Amino acid sequence: LKVNNQNPIGIFDSGFGGLTVMKEVAKLLPCENIIYIGDTARLPYGTKSAETVLQYSLEIADILYKKGCKLLIVACNTACSHSLEALSQLLSIPVIGVIQPGAELIQDKTRVAVLATSGTIRSGVYQNLIQSFAPNSTIYPVACPLFVPLIEEGYGETHAAYLIAESYLSSLKGKIDAALLGCTHYPLMRQTIQRVLGSEVHLIEPASACAEKAKKVLTQTGLLSTQEKPLYQFFATDDPEKFCRLGQSFFGAHLSHCEHLYL
């Protein structure tokens, strides 16, 4: 497939979390057309096996590729953990994820907690990358499987979420300098996480570093768009109205239209 600079950027996630990444991409690259797919029919990815998530990711990425995307952003840490390498090898367009940009933000000698889904933690991808970028850091990986359903029900910043966060994270108190939000849903629980860990702990989100990387890749390949009015297209594999309703808190803006993508 031949791509030129007006072709869209493709972004996908298991559902809504990737919209927190799209928000940063749209902010940094306001001239880019973007196609977003949320695989809401098969969410969550975070509790599923590596093989299943790989299969789902290949399928969604292929749809974006066939829609003519010039760059693919895997805006789901779980999908990145299990499919980024395969996607980079299979597709003839650049593919970037959220994990490497996030891991690169960790300074050496930091004591850092990595908070993510069970699948992401089990894959060890964050642990390995942080170890290679910041070899003298101390890493505390913590799977937080109840965070995604809480956030999707709009409970991210509630007392119930605080109690669950406390049971996952209280043992980290006093041991860490930073916590990396290794799931694209977690920005919607940021205040709760901060309250549990204490204000001195620095919370790190990979989304804007991922957007910077997208800009760099498009600049290097001469594929930056120059048009004035970008087009955003949203697709969901389950109920598009629900996608618009839930999606706006992740995207930080009203979502007026989403199409149902039947797999």
Give the number of other CB atoms < 10 A from CB of residue 261.
Answer: 18
Q: Does 57 bind ligand DGL (CB under 6 A)?
A: no
DSSP designation for 115: E
How many residues bind ligand DGL, per CB under 6 A?
A: 17
DSSP state letters, 156-208: TTSHHHHHHHHHHHGGGTTT-SEEEE-STTGGGGHHHHHHHH-TTSEEE-SHH
Closest to ligand DGL by CB, 7 or 102: 102
What is the C-alpha to C-alpha distance for residues 19 and 21, in angstroms, rounded to an integer? 5
> What mask, x for binding ligand DGL by CB under 6 A, covers residues 90 to 129?
---------------------------x--x---------
Query: What is the dihedral angle through the alpha carbons of 86, 124, 195, 251, rounded to the nearest 10 degrees?
Result: 0
Kindly state the smallest distance separating residue 206's Cβ from ligand DGL, in Å.
9
Cross-strand pairs, 141:
114
Kindly state the smallest distance separating residue 119's Cβ from ligand DGL, in Å.
7
> What mask, x for binding ligand DGL by CB under 6 A, covers residues 203 to 242?
----------------------------------------
Q: Please identify every residue annotated as catalytic.
A: 76, 183
List residues near ligand DGL by CB under 6 A.
13-15, 17, 43-46, 76-78, 117, 120, 148, 183-185
